[in-house]
Amino acid sequence: MVCIDEKIRSRSAKVGVVGLGYVGLPLAVAFSEAGFKVLGFDIQQKRVDWVNQGKSYIADVSEARLSSALANNLLEATTKQSRLKEMDAICICVPTPLTKTKDPDLSYVIHESEELSKYLRHEQLVVLESTTYPGTTREVMLPILERSGLKGGLDFYLAFSPEKVDPGSKKYYIKNTPKIVGGINPNSTEVAALLYQQVADVVVPVSCPEVAEMTKVFENVFRSVNIALVNELAHLCEQMGLSVWEVIDAASTKPFGYMPFYPGPGIGGHCIPLDPYYLANKAREFDFHTRFIELAAEINEHMPYHVVFRILELLNNRGKSLNGAKILVLGVAYKKDVEDTRESPALKIIQLLREKGAEVSYNDPYVSQIHVPAGDMESVEVSGECLASMDCVVIATDHSCYNMGEVVARAKLVFDTRGVTRGLKQANIVRLGE
Ligand SMILES: NC(=O)c1ccc[n+]([C@@H]2O[C@H](COP(=O)([O-])OP(=O)(O)OC[C@H]3O[C@@H](n4cnc5c(N)ncnc54)[C@H](O)[C@@H]3O)[C@@H](O)[C@H]2O)c1
């Protein structure tokens, strides 16, 4: 029998990628570009069909790359979990959301592990890529996979390797982002590291999956805490009549010991708003309260409320009530130049404004429709007349394609939550943090 490391080295190993979303689809394409035969698994038939037709639904994967992988016969997608048995290596990229009460929801990981346990065979490598709390791979996945009768680390290999995509980034992608790998035993780490060496320039093996799991959550907590700190500073600057943007720019001239983070309308995406809760929840098992982490989440989650309060105040100062005011929100994706609206603070802002009786419309060149509690909304065209007819234009997401000079020239009042109008001096601009 040819062992898995020989198959990986010769690139004859078949790679399965489970969950063809923001993480899984780019990974599947990266493995096929490295010469592996890749089978993508998803429970959504339409995603499977799109992949097989070469239609990309993830901005970071161009249709040209997808079509070339298909033309080379190195990529295929399926909903059939039974085909997991054909795979030599399986990377699991399913969602890890929160429940309504903000507890970790591992149902996707558990369900997939149960499916996998039916088809697991000798010499397979299984890697969990979904972000989760330390202990998930060994405490949750391993016992389920061992229901197959096979022993983890001996009959099959099991590791955790966090995905680190930065959606929309033109600078960092799978190849040039170091990949952390931690297996349940040295053999598992070694085989998983060998697999990722085929697609990433630098692979960093760590002693166990728990370290790899903690590393990923720590990276996101680090961002959450620093964003909360600068959001708090933005509040203070507003009270003190200072500009937080000027303070950050000045602090950024320090060549050591400082790294800029920026305030904003809140945090979004699938990582930063969620992952800190995974760690905070696990910590409670150890009678440990992650006070820093929870305080940061509280400050960040309050930002949409603060933005709405500022808009209300600005209108009030102009003798106008929020109830009945016409407000245009520019950008609803959670960050610039992406189409992802998951946990986007703009959605919360729109919801709060509507609850207070404002007449809200939005524009986002990447997002044609949104679902908010008061009903679905469609992106409107931003014309000069549209801008001029608004009581307030709120810059919620600073997509590069927006012409801010034009927006400011036409609108009566602009509330900028991202500091993108910093270079402009017009009196109708009010910025968060000033
Ligand atoms: N989006 C990011 O920027 C990012 C970055 C790093 C890590 N992560 C983590 O990666 C994981 C996946 O995130 P994502 O953004 O790619 O999610 P996503 O929702 O974009 O994609 C997940 C896919 O998994 C599919 N799926 C669910 N259960 C399945 C199953 N049993 N079998 C096959 N397919 C299944 C869904 O249909 C969906 O297409 C999460 O844990 C997330 O926290 C995300």
Q: Distance, CA 93 to ligand 1 centroid (Å)?
A: 5
Say how far apart CA 3 and CA 248 lie, in whole Å: 54
pLDDT at 127: 98
Report how far ligand 1's centroid is from the alpha carbon of 131 (Å).
9
For Cα atoms 299, 300, 301, give the angle at the middle one, nearest 5 degrees.
95
The pLDDT value given to residue 418? 98
* pLDDT(375) > 90: no
Q: How far apart are CA 61 and CA 16, in angstroms?
A: 18
Q: Closest ligand 1 atom to the C-alpha of 108?
A: 28
CB of 282 within 6 A of ligand 1: the answer is: no
Contact 132, 278 (CB under 8 A): yes
Tokens of 347: 């959605």
Q: Is the CB of 84 under 6 A from ligand 1?
A: no
396 touches 360 (CB < 8 A):
no
Helices 24-33 and 63-71, packing angle to 10 deg: 50
In contact, 411 and 434? CB cutoff 8 Å: no
Phi/psi at 384 (nearest 5 deg)? -60, -40
Q: In which band, very low, low, confident or very high, does the pLDDT at 169 lie, cut at 50, 70 and 90?
A: confident
Atom of ligand 1 nearest to the CA of 23: 16
Per-residue model confidence (pLDDT) at position 166: 81
Average pLDDT of the residues in 172-181: 94
**Phi, psi for residue 18 in degrees, rounded to 5:** -100, 120
Average pLDDT estimate for 213-217: 97
Residue nearest to atom 41 of ligand 1 (CA): 130
Q: From atom 36 of ligand 1, which residue's Cα is the shortest distance away?
A: 19
Averaged pLDDT of the chain: 96
E-assigned strand segments in 26-183? 37-41, 75-78, 89-92, 125-128, 157-160, 179-183
pLDDT of residue 432: 98
Do residues 90 and 124 lie in contact, with contact meaning Cβ atoms separated by under 8 Å? yes
Say how far apart CA 188 and CA 17 lie, in whole Å: 18
Q: Put the strands of the sheet holding 429-431 in their side by side order.
A: 359-363, 326-330, 392-395, 414-416, 429-431
Structure tokens at 165: 């995509």
Tell me the average pLDDT across 305-331: 98
Q: What is the pLDDT of residue 165?
A: 79
Q: Is 165 in the pocket of ligand 1 (CB under 6 A)?
A: yes
Nearest to 329 by CA among 304, 294, 301: 304
Q: Please report the pLDDT score of residue 1 as a whole number.
A: 59
Share of the chain residues as helix, strand and coil, in percent rounded to the nearest 5 = 40, 15, 45
Whether 154 has a pLDDT exceeding 80, the answer reads yes
The pLDDT of residue 2 is 67
Helix H or strand E encompassing 375: strand 375-378
Q: Return the closest-CA partner of residue 168 out of 399, 416, 417.
A: 399
Packing angle between helix 209-240 and helix 291-317, nearest 10 degrees? 30
Neighbours of 35 (CB within 10 A): 12
| Residue 218: pLDDT over 70 | yes
pTM, entire model: 0.93
216 lines ligand 1 (CB under 6 A): no
Q: How far is the CA of 385 from the centre of ligand 1 (A)?
A: 41
The stretch 160-169 carries a mean pLDDT of 87
Question: Mean pLDDT throughout 183-210?
Answer: 98
Closest residue by Cα to atom 7, ligand 1, is 163
What number is the average pLDDT over the span 96-122?
96
Q: Is the CB of 20 under 6 A from ligand 1?
A: yes
Q: Is 271 a catalytic residue?
A: yes
- The answer to whether residues 161 and 129 touch, using CB atoms and an 8 Å cutoff, is yes
Structural element, H or E, at residue 17: strand 14-18
| pLDDT (0 to 100) of residue 239 | 97
Other Cβ atoms less than 10 A from the Cβ of 374: the count is 11
Distance from Cα 424 to the centre of ligand 1, integer Å: 40
Which of 17, 43, 50, 219 to mutate for ligand 1's pocket (most ligand atoms within 8 Å of CB)? 43
60 in contact with ligand 1, CB cutoff 6 A: no
Q: Rounded to 5 degrees, what angle do the CA atoms 85, 88, 92 make? A: 80
Under 8 Å between Cβ of 108 and 95:
yes
Question: In 23-139, which ranges are E strands?
Answer: 37-41, 75-78, 89-92, 125-128
| pLDDT-above-90 percentage for the chain | 94
Would you place residue 373 in the very low, low, confident or very high pLDDT band (cuts 50, 70, 90)?
confident
Question: Can you say whether residue 168 is alpha, beta or left, with left for phi > 0 and alpha for psi between -120 and 50 degrees?
Answer: left
360 lines ligand 1 (CB under 6 A): no
Which range is least confidently modeled, 107-116, 214-223, 270-279? 270-279
Q: What is the pLDDT of residues 14-31, one digit of tens each?
A: 999 999 999 999 999 999
Greatest CA separation for the chain: 80
Please tell me the distance from the alpha carbon of residue 84 to that of residue 80, in angstroms, as a whole number: 8
Least confident range of 99-103, 119-123, 125-129, 358-362: 99-103
Residue 98 CA to ligand 1 center (angstroms) comes to 13
Q: Is 19 in the pocket of ligand 1 (CB under 6 A)?
A: yes
Q: Is the CB of 44 under 6 A from ligand 1?
A: yes
Please say whether the beta carbons of 247 and 419 come within 8 A: no
**Residue from 91, 208, 271, 392 carrying the catalytic annotation:** 271
pLDDT of residue 59: 85
Q: What is the pLDDT of residue 168?
A: 79
Query: How confident is the model over 137-151, as a mean pLDDT?
Result: 98
The tens digit of pLDDT for each residue in 403-418 reads 999 999 999 999 999 9
Q: Mean pLDDT throughout 85-112? A: 96
Our mutation pick for probing the ligand 1 site, out of 42, 84, 275, counting the most ligand atoms within 8 A of Cβ, is 42
Q: If you measure from the C-alpha of residue 20 to the centroid of ligand 1, how many angstroms do you get, rounded to a whole number? A: 7
Q: Which of 92, 111, 163, 223 has most ligand 1 atoms within 8 Å of CB, for mutation?
A: 163
Nearest to 227 by CA among 256, 282, 264, 255: 264
Burial of 122 per CB tally in 10 Å (0-12, 13-18, 19+) = exposed
**Quick check: 184 and 141 in contact, CB under 8 A?**
no
